[in-house]
Chains A and B, each alone.
Chain A
Amino acid sequence: MSLLKIRNLRVEFGSLAHPFPAVDGLDFDIDRGELVGIVGESGSGKSVTMMALMGLIDAPGRVTADELVFDGHDLLKLKPAQRRKIVGKDISMIFQDALTSLNPSYTVGFQIKESLKVHMGLRGAALEKRALELLELVEIPAAKSRLGAYPHQLSGGMNQRVMIAVAIACNPKLLIADEPTTALDVTIQAQIMDLLERLQKEHNMGLIMITHDLAVIAEMAKRICVMYAGQVVEQAPVADLFRAPRHPYTQALLEAIPEHSKGARRLSALPGIVPGHYDRPKGCLLSPRCRYAQDKCSQERPALLDGVRCYYPLNAEGESTHG
């Protein structure tokens, strides 16, 4: 049984008469100890999906799903108080900008201990010991003195380590990292990624790594899930995805990686942007931007079949399979 099973997740914003689906019928699974990458450009619904999982979507946003099962609990059927016993303990999340994601008025120590107190009931010396242990676990030097530091006194990389310490405080079964390195320098990015990978292996956590940069997770993840406009458009093992992408959107993403297009004079870019509230196509959501689009593509939505949501998936040579 998978650790997390999502079936037909929908997250809608806007009025009931004119809803805007930020997540549109998403299916997703992750096993214990598995590392899955979710990629897609801004606005593709990656973060909203995870926010829905965490129960952080507020009215007027609406979350529905056929199944949203984590570790045997159907999260949408739980009462808020029961759900909060899971969120922050068994599922936890780290965010893009660590400095703004930490409360500026409290010390790092306070913010780490808070989870330990609320979820684990730790007090006194045990609490102190565990907090220190966590800071050491995320490789913060002079950990003891850093417990009393405020977020503004630490660097961006240090703050992200603190965020990670907060997130793994209660030994979660699933950790969601939402673009954890976007706001950091390249060298620090690599360190944070290594740290996350190590913690994931050591604690056998499920890790969902959200990014808009395929290169970042190419080395880490076993499986990658490509999202576009609130849907999963392709899902495949990393090696297959990089060698032979089957969805035109995945192909476009790969072509946008500088290392992948050596020799080309200009870096390839996908024209246009993710459809918004008023220009959501009737057919395949990518059809207005897709270079292979046929008549059928703009008429009907394709379903996710065999890991790809396309009528004319690309073949191994990267050519479209229509007519």
Chain B
Amino acid sequence: MFSFILRKLATVIPTFIGITLVAFALIRMIPGDPIEVMVGERKLDPVMHAAAMQRLGLDQPLHIQYFRYVKDLAQGDLGISLVTREPVTKEFLTLFPATVELAICALLFAVLVGLPAGMIAGLKRGSVFDHGVMGVSMTGFSMPIFWWGLILIMYFSVTLGWTPVSGRIDIEFDIAQRTGFLLIDSWLSGEEGAFKSAAMHLILPTIVLGTIPLAVIARMTRSSMLEVLREDYIRTARAKGLAPTRVVVVHALRNALIPVITVIGLQVGSLLGGAVLTETIYSWPGIGKWLVDSISRRDYPVVQAGILVSATIFIVVNLFVDILYGVVNPRIRSAK
């Protein structure tokens, strides 16, 4: 098992180097530089522009800039935002918990609803339930996220007034940041109504962000279940005289979950990388929104860091999934 993990880690290194290159190059390919964007429509004196660029170190040849970036990176320094002049790491750490909180809730929603729904649909193939689940998940999968988010706001927030429109918590609450997760912090604060407010703010973004993962998980679980139920070893399990629930839970489910775990892992990676649309619609102060804002400001260090961190999370989650995969599927573990 240990060498399995080491082998997996070794494959990560080249990927990581590739990401730093891409993150560095991509943002510089967009026309305009940070100074021009800051100045905007006003006319800019070329001398002042050059001086500003020099001050930011952006006048250096690209390879020098890249090596400086990598050198800082190796020391754990993500640089300083060109716009706010704050360390990128600090900004990231304030915003990341919001993304994580939303991602965890969305994923829980997707797994807790999607897995059982897909499983039952697979077991009751061709039933009304099966058709219902597949229809709903197809709809969920094909729906544009921004439209779905707006529809929910219009109905539940505006018409019914059940949930708040946007943000993480009502403005009247001033919650001290301890964990960064507002659900926990508001609970710890002991302020009356704070936890409820935080929870209510989470509901709609959770549903919107969880919809696509839910649809994917439900479909994958169903098809995987159907496939496994046709396997010879299921016939063997039944020939042993095992009860139907034991056949499904012990013999079918474990094998059916193998591909589902991969799918869930991929979803975790993309959810943690920041939900750009959902965070924007609900003014959710997470890293998705941060990244989008920084791109329009050509805030090079922030964009580089944002891409790098998102990609790293994606890689780490995938690595974790691979390891988990090895735990669930003994055939992978011994593969050389």
Contacts and interface: CB of A to CB of B under 8 A. Distances in A.
Interface string A83-117: 01111110011010100111111100000001100
A101 B241 contact: no
B243 A84 contact: yes
A166 B255 CA distance: 20
The B interface is mostly helix, strand or loop, or mixed, namely: helix
Given A105-B328, A105-B329, A152-B331, A54 B236 contact: no
B251 interface: yes
B334 interface: yes
Interface in B230-248: 231-233, 235-243, 246
A104 B235 contact: no
A119 interface: yes
Contacts of B241: 84-89, 115, 118-119
A150 interface: yes
B254 interface: yes
A153 interface: yes
A22 to B, nearest CB: 16
A264 interface: no
Contact of B235 (A56, A81, A84, A92): A56
A87 B239 CA distance: 6
B237 A103 contact: yes
A118 B240 contact: yes
Contacts of A118: 240-242, 246
Contact of A97 (B232, B237, B250, B330): B232
Interface in A49-68: 54-56
Interface residues of B, number: 22
Contacts of B251: 103
B233 A103 contact: yes
Contacts of A81: 243
A105 B255 contact: yes
A101 B251 CA distance: 12
Nearest to B240: A88
A101 B331 contact: no
B232 A84 contact: no
A102 B233 contact: yes
Nearest to A93: B239
Contacts of B243: 81, 84
Interface string A148-163: 0010110000000001
Contacts of B240: 87-88, 92, 114-115, 118, 166
A100 B233 contact: yes
A153 B255 CA distance: 17
Contacts of B238: 54-56
Nearest to A56: B238
B231 A105 contact: no
Contacts of B239: 54, 56, 87-88, 92-93, 95
A55 B174 CA distance: 65
Nearest to B242: A118
B236 A101 contact: yes
Contacts of B232: 95, 97, 100-101
A317 B111 CA distance: 71
Interface string B295-336: 000000000000000000000000000000000111100100
Interface in A288-317: none
Interface string A229-267: 000000000000000000000000000000000000000
Contacts of A115: 240-241
Contacts of B331: 104, 150, 152
A56 B238 CA distance: 7
A132 B238 CA distance: 23
A274 to B, nearest CB: 22
A84 B246 CA distance: 12
A95 B334 contact: no
A103 B330 contact: no
A258 B331 CA distance: 40
15 contacts: A54-B238, A55-B238, A84-B242, A84-B243, A87-B241, A88-B239, A89-B241, A92-B240, A100-B232, A101-B232, A101-B233, A101-B236, A103-B237, A103-B251, A152-B330
Q: For the complex of A and B, list the 6 residue pairs with the smallest distance between their C-beta atoms, beginning with the closest.
A: A88-B241, A88-B240, A100-B232, A87-B241, A84-B241, A103-B233
Interface of B: 231-233, 235-243, 246, 250-251, 254-255, 328-331, 334
